[in-house]
């Protein structure tokens, strides 16, 4: 199940202390080496290095590392405490919170088990087949709904597979690759359409505002390169996960007979499952149909926000509305206090004795929501904001001046690599919002077609597979507490490199 973000000190104490000291020590070295840039940019570069060391090594709990900007930014003159704190309360964080609560409700009603068993019965129970099924399902969903929302929808289904009755040793070997398959599938699938992931929308909005006289980037035009890229990328990612990085065994997680028996053992669908399913489906539909979809320069399919005049009712508001219903709607009978435990009254101490049973209670949510992930992502937003406010971003742009004389393929590869590196240290949306305006100015100064630079840079901002803070998708699966950072880094570096190579091949030879 989704649990609180946790950390355990598996390293020897001496090594942990050395790793903790290496963070501020590296920050001081970076500050000295870059002091010619000015106090704020060099300090910001040092903070990035400090937090990267602690995040990667887990020498300090990740959520604690994420709080460093609240102390260091005002101390070093990068930003005020209120200006820094706003990054920890952004709308997308409440999207996370609502999504986590929705996933918990599905677990508590056991709906995720029914869905998971249905998927296993269709795709087969071997490790490679399960991973392929989860990757494809996540990718197809992510093409039409926000990638973050897609992972929130798929996560409880995957967790049910991992918490099932199959071979415990095999389930342990499948845990990391299966969870990463959901994150990777959603991330890669989001590249295929303009609405798949927020960086794509950042580009389209900037294009409309900056070049209103130029033809817009249409839905079909985007899919003409996005879908082939997705298919090739998914195939390579599946091969790497199952054959190279983790070498997933070919044995069945559960035999077909056992799966059939478990499906029958679930019995008829309960009231709690029906209500959880209705809220789940309603939330997904609202996420999918909320935004306008421009198929061409003349035809746009309006979403319900435009139709109803509710532009301010974002996906985060939809998630919180659904979460509120989980605490309010009575389901009748008793609901499990813990996923997998039946017939336990979860009435909270001190509450009214006659309070109707609901899918969620606050006591249950408080114990199971991964609050540390929310801080982790807030820290990523703070880094992206600090890079811009400190002036470090301007120096990075100036450093790109030497790239303009490179061959097209090397230019695209270099820009993609730089944006990918930035996305590892901050949210993909924040990186796109920061980098794309800079690259737009750079492309105009170089006299090149902006699309040739901005489209691969946008897709590169969606990369970032190595760290939990790199994207919401990574943060969510990491929030289960079942993926060591080192395993995520080991697999993610390969996915990042493959992504940069594919972007270079797709866009660098035109």
Q: What one-character-per-residue DSSP string does 156-211 give?
A: HHHHHHHTSSS-HHHHHHHHHHHHHHHHHHHHHHTTSSTTSSHHHHHHHHHHHHH-
Q: Could you tell me if residue 85 is inside a domain?
A: no
What is the rounded end-to-end Cα distance, in angstroms, of the chain? 47
**DSSP string of 278-310?**
HHHHHHHHHHHHSS-EESSSS-EE--HHHHHT-
Residues 178 and 284 in one domain: yes
Candidates 226, 274, 194; CA nearest to 503 is 226
pLDDT of residue 239: 95
3-class DSSP state for residue 144? coil
Question: Would you call 215 exposed, middle or buried from its count of C-beta atoms within 10 A (0-12, 13-18, 19+)?
Answer: exposed
- CB of 416 closer than 8 Å to CB of 500: yes
Handedness of CA 81, 82, 83, 84 (dihedral sign): positive
**Do 45 and 143 belong to one domain?**
no
* Phi and psi, residue 190, nearest 5°: -65, -20
Which of 333, 368, 403 marks a domain boundary?
368
Distance of CA 452 to the CA centre of its chain: 26
Q: CA-to-CA distance for 25 and 11, rounded, in angstroms?
A: 20
List the chain pLDDT tens, one digit each, 510 residues.
444 444 444 556 788 888 899 999 999 999 999 999 999 999 999 998 898 788 767 788 878 888 999 999 999 999 999 999 998 888 777 877 887 788 788 778 877 677 766 766 777 667 888 888 888 888 887 776 667 777 877 887 788 778 766 677 777 888 899 999 999 999 999 898 876 777 887 787 678 777 777 776 766 678 888 999 999 999 999 999 999 998 888 777 666 666 677 777 777 888 888 898 899 888 878 877 777 766 655 667 788 888 888 888 887 888 899 999 999 988 865 555 444 333 334 444 334 444 558 888 888 888 878 787 788 778 877 887 888 788 887 777 677 666 777 788 888 898 899 888 878 876 677 677 667 777 877 777 677 788 888 999 999 988 889 888 777 788 888 888 888 888 899 999 999 999 999 999 998 775
Last residue of a domain, one of 313, 345, 368: 368
Looking at the structure, tell me whether residues 382 and 245 fall in a common domain.
no
Regarding whether 425 and 331 lie in a shared domain, the answer is no
Domain of residue 271: give its range. 91-368
pLDDT of residue 134: 84
Contacts of 175 (CB under 8 A, 6+ apart): 162, 482, 483
* Nearest-angstrom CA–CA distance, 50 and 355: 49
Q: Considering the domain boundaries, does residue 420 fall inside one?
A: yes
Q: How far apart are CA 214 and CA 293, in angstroms?
A: 18
Q: How many domains does the chain have?
A: 2
State how far the alpha carbon of 360 is from the alpha carbons of 134, 184, 280, 451, 484, in Å: 27, 29, 14, 47, 29
317 assigned to some structural domain: yes
Claim to verify: residue 32 and residue 99 sit in the same structural domain: no
HSE of 458, CA atoms in CB hemisphere, 13 A? 30
CB 409 within 8 Å of CB 396: no
Task: Indicate the DSSP class of residue 213.
Answer: T
The number of residues making up the chain comes to 510
The answer to whether 400 and 442 have CB atoms below 8 angstroms apart is yes
Cβ neighbours of residue 94 closer than 8 Å, sequence gap 6 or more: 316, 317, 319, 320
Q: Residue 464: how many CA atoms within 13 Å on its side-chain side?
A: 32
The answer to whether residue 463 is domain-embedded is yes
Domain stops at, among 302, 335, 368:
368
Do 462 and 362 belong together in one domain? no
Q: Count other C-beta atoms under 10 Å from residue 12's C-beta.
A: 9
Secondary structure of residue 26 in the 3-state scheme = helix
User: Torsions phi, psi of 293, nearest 5?
Assistant: -120, 115
Q: Which residues pair with 301 in a beta bridge?
A: 293
Tokens of 167: 């071979």
What is the reported pLDDT for 29? 95
Do 375 and 345 share a domain, yes or no?
A: no
234 plus 329 within the same structural domain: yes
Considering the domain architecture, whether residues 387 and 335 belong to the same structural domain is answered as no
Write out the H or E segment, with its range, that includes residue 412.
Answer: helix 408-425
Give pLDDT, residue 1: 46
Nearest C-alpha neighbor of 315 from the set 195, 449, 465: 195
Domain identity same for 428 and 497: yes
Residues 431 and 457: their CA atoms lie apart, in Å, by 10
Residues 176 and 314 placed together within one structural domain of the fold: yes
For residues 390 and 341, the answer to whether their CB atoms sit within 8 Å is no
Residues 6+ apart with CB under 8 A from 115: 157, 160
Buried/exposed 479-496: b ≥16 CB within 10 Å, e otherwise? bbbbbebebbbebbebbb
Q: Please answer whether residues 334 and 344 qualify as being in contact, where contact means their C-beta atoms are separated by less than 8 angstroms.
A: yes
Same domain as 174, residue 310: yes
Is residue 148 one of the residues assigned to a domain?
yes
Flag whether 222 is in a domain: yes
The answer to whether residue 77 sits within a structural domain is no
State the Cα–Cα distance between residues 229 and 192, nearest whole angstrom: 7
7 within some domain: no
Q: Is the pTM of this model over 0.75?
A: no
């Amino acid at each position: 199940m989704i649990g609180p973000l946790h950390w355990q000190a598996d390293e020897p104490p001496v090594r942990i202390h050395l790793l903790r000291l290496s963070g501020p020590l590296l920050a001081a070295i970076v500050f000295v080496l870059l002091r010619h840039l000015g106090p704020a940019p060099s300090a910001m570069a040092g903070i990035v290095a400090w937090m990267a060391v602690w995040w990667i090594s887990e020498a300090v709990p990740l959520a604690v590392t994420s709080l460093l900007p609240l102390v260091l930014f005002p101390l070093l003159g990068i930003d005020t405490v209120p200006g820094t704190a706003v990054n920890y309360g952004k709308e997308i964080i409440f999207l996370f919170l609502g999504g986590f609560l929705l996933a918990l409700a599905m677990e508590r009603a056991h709906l995720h088990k029914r869905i998971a068993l249905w998927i296993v019965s269709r795709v087969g129970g071997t490790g490679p087949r399960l991973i392929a099924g989860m990757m494809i399902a996540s990718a197809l969903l992510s093409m039409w709904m926000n990638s973050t929302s897609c992972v929130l929808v798929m996560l409880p289904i995957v967790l049910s597979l991992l918490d099932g009755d199959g071979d415990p040793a095999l389930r342990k070997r499948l845990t990391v690759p299966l969870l990463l398959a959901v994150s990777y599938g959603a991330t890669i699938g989001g590249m295929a359409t303009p609405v798949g992931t927020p960086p794509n929308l950042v580009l389209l909005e900037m294009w409309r505002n900056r070049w209103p006289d130029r033809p817009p980037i249409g839905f079909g035009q985007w899919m003409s390169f996005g879908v082939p890229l997705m298919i090739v990328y998914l195939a390579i990612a599946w091969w790497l996960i199952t054959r190279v990085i983790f070498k997933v065994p070919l044995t069945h997680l559960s035999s077909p007979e056992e799966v059939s028996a478990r499906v029958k053992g679930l019995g008829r669908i309960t009231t709690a499952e029906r209500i959880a399913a209705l809220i789940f489906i309603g939330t997904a539909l609202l996420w999918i149909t909320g935004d306008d979809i421009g198929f061409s320069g003349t035809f746009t399919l309006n979403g319900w926000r435009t139709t109803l005049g509710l532009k301010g009712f974002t996906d985060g508001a939809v998630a919180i509305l659904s979460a509120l219903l989980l605490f309010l709607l009575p389901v009748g009978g008793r609901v499990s206090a813990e996923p997998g435990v039946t017939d336990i009254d979860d009435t909270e101490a001190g509450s009214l004795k006659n309070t109707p049973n609901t899918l969620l209670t606050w006591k249950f949510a408080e114990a199971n929501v991964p609050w540390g992930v929310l801080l982790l992502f807030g820290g990523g937003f703070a880094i992206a904001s600090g890079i811009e406010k400190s002036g470090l971003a301007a120096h990075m742009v100036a450093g790109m001046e030497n790239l303009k004389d490179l061959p097209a393929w090397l230019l695209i590869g270099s820009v993609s690599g730089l944006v990918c590196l930035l996305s590892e240290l901050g949210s993909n949306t924040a990186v796109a919002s920061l980098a794309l305006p800079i690259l737009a100015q750079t492309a105009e100064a170089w006299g090149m077609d902006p699309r040739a630079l901005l489209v691969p840079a946008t897709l590169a901002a969606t990369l970032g597979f190595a760290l939990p803070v790199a994207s919401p998708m990574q943060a969510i699966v990491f929030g289960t507490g079942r993926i060591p950072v080192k395993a995520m880094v080991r697999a993610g570096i390969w996915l990042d490199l493959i992504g940069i190579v594919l972007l270079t091949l797709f866009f660098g030879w035109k």
